[in-house]
Amino acid sequence: MWEDKTEDVVEQCKIELPVLKEVKSKKISKSKSGPINLLIQGDNYHALSVLNYTHRKKIDVIYIDPPYNTGSKDFVFNDHYVDVNDSYRHSKWLSFIHKRIRLAKNLLKDTGVIFVSIDDNEMPQLKLLMDDPDLFGENNFIALLVWENKEGGGSSDSKHFKIKHEYILVYAKEKENLIVNKEKIPDEDAYTYSDEYEKKRGKHKLIKLNSASIQYSKSLDYPITAPDGTKIYPSFDHKQACWRWSKRKFDWGVENGYVRISKSKSGKWVVYTKQYLKVDNEGNKIERQRPPLGVISQFSSTMATKELEKIFHGKVFSYPKPYLLIKHLLSLVASKDCVILDFMAGTGTTGQATIELNAEDNGNRRFILCTNNENDICTKVCYPRISKVISGYKDFNGKLIKGIEANLRYFQTAFVGAEPNDKNKEALTRQATEMLCVREDTFEPIKGSKQIKIFKNDKHYTGILFDEDAVPALKKEILKLGGKWSVYIFSLGDDTFDEEFEDMKQKITVSPIPEVILRVYRRLFKT
């Protein structure tokens, strides 16, 4: 329980409804066949509300890195920094994060997953919040990952402990539906020995055949004959022990090259089994892999700062996350054509991670980034960063870094009156075009008149009708162009125009606007 604090941007939605307005001059089109990524500038409460209409159950992965509420000017609530002496600091943070995560959860597919970066300041509060059955519920808790964020010894600013880690809380929308990719084991280096089987089986490591740690069994205690005829027994240091393999398995191992008997430095015979990289102990082909580790230590905060300095030739933000860390998380859980959302995008790290991962594994992932423009973070850092990653840039040594083909559309949040009168409904309809294109992922304009607008992608068309008298004209277009259609028709009520499109039912879906949008907003804002 916490004291819910009213927030201006939330109250605003009772008098104004959020929509999207495209900043066309910031559009980037560098990939013909690639997906269209989105950057939305504005408060994420508004952006997430819009996405509740356009992207309900369409997101595979959410990653966020919210303000940690450290008390030192990192968390803004109602336009004021929350400081350590604010007795409601946790309540304000919980009010803030709860309202956003509640909206974000609706966007996840049933197979989806959310990662939330956090540190000691709010980790316990956040964990309990996420465990609430109305949010994700403890049944859907996946892991509390520890990220070692500092290289070397860690910071020495604490009197008691050197803290060099923070956390990433992981929840599934529905635990039984979440698939976490296994990792290739990174200790390939441990497989160092070569033999005549290397080509097929890979290199191998040696593991002693005798073990004091397995339960003694008489049948596993048999003599093995060394090359010079010496009998070798599993016991060592005069203690009873046995072999790990039965006599039958051992004979099979000798015959098939899975056993090595050699002299140790002290001149004693030792029996080893060979563990190959590419086959198991029965000779079956395997890829040695394991579930990803809960402690992540290969990427540091310093790396993240350097990544940004490489692009901007100087420091532009205090605590970005390394894109390699986000790339690592994305590679663990998602298919190669997933939709990724970061609604605390800051410098756009998640965008770069997505683009780089696609380039690495030929993926088709797309991202949606939302951030406000605190200290010009969106206009001066996030957008230019994504733009440079796509178009290429010179690093601080003057070296040309090649761009990676991708597409981006830039939106800002805008507003129309919330009172459900005819004037506002007409205004919302006029402003809704961009939201409809985002929802349908159709950005290529085919026709634009006062009465009809048509957009397409390579799979289907979106038709927007601003005047129902133009239904016959739109039907003509549908017959001419063919293919699948989503049609939106302006109506002051909730007419679904079934009769008018009866003869085309198979190929098109018809929805009344703005009613379909208002329905979502009424539920979210309880107006």
Could you list the residues that contact ligand SAM (CB under 6 A)? 43-44, 65, 67, 317, 320-321, 344, 346-347, 349, 370-372, 374, 377
Q: Which is nearer to ligand SAM, 259 or 408 (CB)?
A: 408
CB of 399: closest distance to ligand SAM in angstroms?
Answer: 23
CB of 253: closest distance to ligand SAM in angstroms?
Answer: 51
What's the rounded Cα separation, in Å, for the pair 493 and 491?
5
CB of 326: closest distance to ligand SAM in angstroms?
Answer: 8
Q: Which is nearer to ligand SAM, 317 or 521 (CB)?
A: 317
- Which are the contacts of 348, defined by CB distance < 8 A and separation ≥ 6? 39, 369, 371, 381, 382, 383, 385, 386
Instruction: Count Cβ atoms within 10 A of the Cβ of residue 299 and give its class: 0-12 exposed, 13-18 middle, 19 or more buried.
Output: buried
CB of 76: closest distance to ligand SAM in angstroms?
Answer: 6
Task: State which residue has the least CB distance to ligand SAM.
Answer: 346
CB of 69: closest distance to ligand SAM in angstroms?
Answer: 11
CB of 65: closest distance to ligand SAM in angstroms?
Answer: 3
CB of 308: closest distance to ligand SAM in angstroms?
Answer: 8
Please list the alpha-helical segments (H only) found in 315-421.
323-333, 349-361, 383-391
- Tell me if residue 519 falls in helix, strand or coil: helix
Q: Which is nearer to ligand SAM, 43 or 440 (CB)?
A: 43
Q: Which is nearer to ligand SAM, 101 or 344 (CB)?
A: 344
Q: Which is nearer to ligand SAM, 64 or 279 (CB)?
A: 64
Work out the end-to-end distance of the chain between its first and last CA atoms, rounded to an integer number of angstroms.
25
What's the rounded Cα separation, in Å, for the pair 497 and 502?
9
Q: Which is nearer to ligand SAM, 320 or 363 (CB)?
A: 320
What's the rounded Cα separation, in Å, for the pair 310 and 398?
10
Please list the alpha-helical segments (H only) found in 416-514.
422-431, 433-440, 471-481
Please list the alpha-helical segments (H only) found in 219-267.
247-256
What's the rounded Cα separation, in Å, for the pair 100 and 65?
13
- Which are the contacts of 230, defined by CB distance < 8 A and separation ≥ 6? 269
Residue 333 neighbours by CB distance under 10 Å: 21
CB of 320: closest distance to ligand SAM in angstroms?
Answer: 4
Q: Which is nearer to ligand SAM, 275 or 372 (CB)?
A: 372
- Tell me if residue 251 falls in helix, strand or coil: helix
CA dist list (Å): 478 to 33, 447, 451: 24, 12, 15
Q: Which is nearer to ligand SAM, 211 or 331 (CB)?
A: 331
Q: Which is nearer to ligand SAM, 43 or 515 (CB)?
A: 43
Per the DSSP assignment, residues forming a β-bridge with 456 are: 444, 461
- The residue type of 304 is A
Q: Torsion angle, CA of 464/466/470/475, rounded to 10 degrees?
A: 10
- Which are the contacts of 421, defined by CB distance < 8 A and separation ≥ 6? none
CB of 162: closest distance to ligand SAM in angstroms?
Answer: 22
Q: Which is nearer to ligand SAM, 234 or 346 (CB)?
A: 346
CB of 41: closest distance to ligand SAM in angstroms?
Answer: 9
How big is the CA angle at 523 (ends 517 and 524), to the nearest 5 degrees? Answer: 90
